[in-house]
Copies of this chain bind each other. A is one copy, B any other.
């Protein structure tokens, strides 16, 4: 199936919200025109716009069958809309997924538990001739990194962060849009299930066997460099944080496999502790200065490179406070700062263009030669 043409009915039973259903809310943010409805019986009758603040009139329905019955907007695929920390599919969702397959919907999921490995779901998909796309399933032939990302003829930028769920993918996507508008050649290299859903390619590095995480990042950089061509910009989606008790290994493997030429640091202006339902409350968030120093220090022995801008998440602040937070971040670090969603990515776009140099710009096509 072609992810870029699918029309999605999203399953988010009991958990549809901005934070509770990241895959669902990202799909609605980036391609609302291809989302037909959201299943969450606890909020049926409301609209997506009412719950998320964006997504407009997309209906929330009580069941798969109600979702299939939405007039004039037939979905082609069921998207599992949640990515719980465990990565497991709630057991009572299996019958719903089976019925979706029987109704002819392709099945798309970003969970660690692959749908294709659940016998009832696999059997239903085979019977019905629908596709299963497990976004997180890694290639089977990944290498141990040999650090070839050092040598690519592209300018690699990695979004790093002080925590999970702090805007590393969003910042990269906003920066990509800004770079394209500025006339640069740029490709976005997704490293997580949501980015893969949006772009249609990538590797979910957190689902890769740990010996091969850097190798997966290396492969993404090589592929991105090929796609964008010599001198172009490869924007790699970061994951986690170097001080995250659960995921720091993914973060460092990604940093060392990517070997970026520059980093953008993503941070939440209002967060003071590593966030995860209180599990990691004992970890104080890094300051911007600490996080810059740590990321640069961990990269330095392999390839010295700098953090060149700050992407701040200010969604929970009123606008005036958000502007002050951006101003403070710029003053503390001496770097360009912005909330790329709220105030636009321009300061970061300028910083990257300056670092990447003129080779990153689209050149006018050569004049036609006389035959």
Instruction: Kindly state the separation between the CA atoms of A70 and B245 in the bound complex, as whole angstroms.
Output: 51
Cβ of A313 within 8 Å of any chain B Cβ, yes or no, is no
- A274 to nearest B CB, angstroms? 9
Cβ of A157 within 8 Å of any chain B Cβ, yes or no, is no
Instruction: Kindly state the separation between the CA atoms of A205 and B211 in the bound complex, as whole angstroms.
Output: 9
* A249 in contact with B112 (CB, 8 Å): no
* A209 in contact with B211 (CB, 8 Å): no
Known A-B contacts A284-B301, A297-B297; A145 and B245 likewise in contact (beta carbons under 8 Å): yes
Instruction: Kindly state the separation between the CA atoms of A209 and B210 in the bound complex, as whole angstroms.
Output: 5
* B279 in contact with A147 (CB, 8 Å): yes
Cβ of A243 within 8 Å of any chain B Cβ, yes or no, is yes
| Residue count of chain A within 8 Å CB distance of chain B | 47
Instruction: Kindly state the separation between the CA atoms of A306 and B184 in the bound complex, as whole angstroms.
Output: 47
Which residues of A in the span 40-99 have a Cβ within 8 Å of any Cβ on B?
85-87
* A249 in contact with B250 (CB, 8 Å): yes
What chain B residues lie within 8 Å of A245 (beta carbons)? Answer: 145-147, 214, 256-257, 259, 302
* A254 in contact with B243 (CB, 8 Å): no
The 8 Å CB contact of A242, one of B246, B280, B298, is: B298
Cβ of A109 within 8 Å of any chain B Cβ, yes or no, is no
What chain B residues lie within 8 Å of A247 (beta carbons)? Answer: 144, 211, 214
Instruction: Kindly state the separation between the CA atoms of A283 and B250 in the bound complex, as whole angstroms.
Output: 21
Cβ of A32 within 8 Å of any chain B Cβ, yes or no, is no
Closest B residue, CB atoms, query A294: B297
Cβ of A159 within 8 Å of any chain B Cβ, yes or no, is no
What chain B residues lie within 8 Å of A215 (beta carbons)? Answer: 246
What chain B residues lie within 8 Å of A252 (beta carbons)? Answer: 242, 248-249, 251-252
* B246 in contact with A145 (CB, 8 Å): yes
A/B interface sample: 11 pairs, CB < 8 A: A87-B211, A145-B246, A146-B279, A206-B210, A211-B250, A214-B245, A214-B249, A246-B256, A249-B254, A252-B252, A286-B301
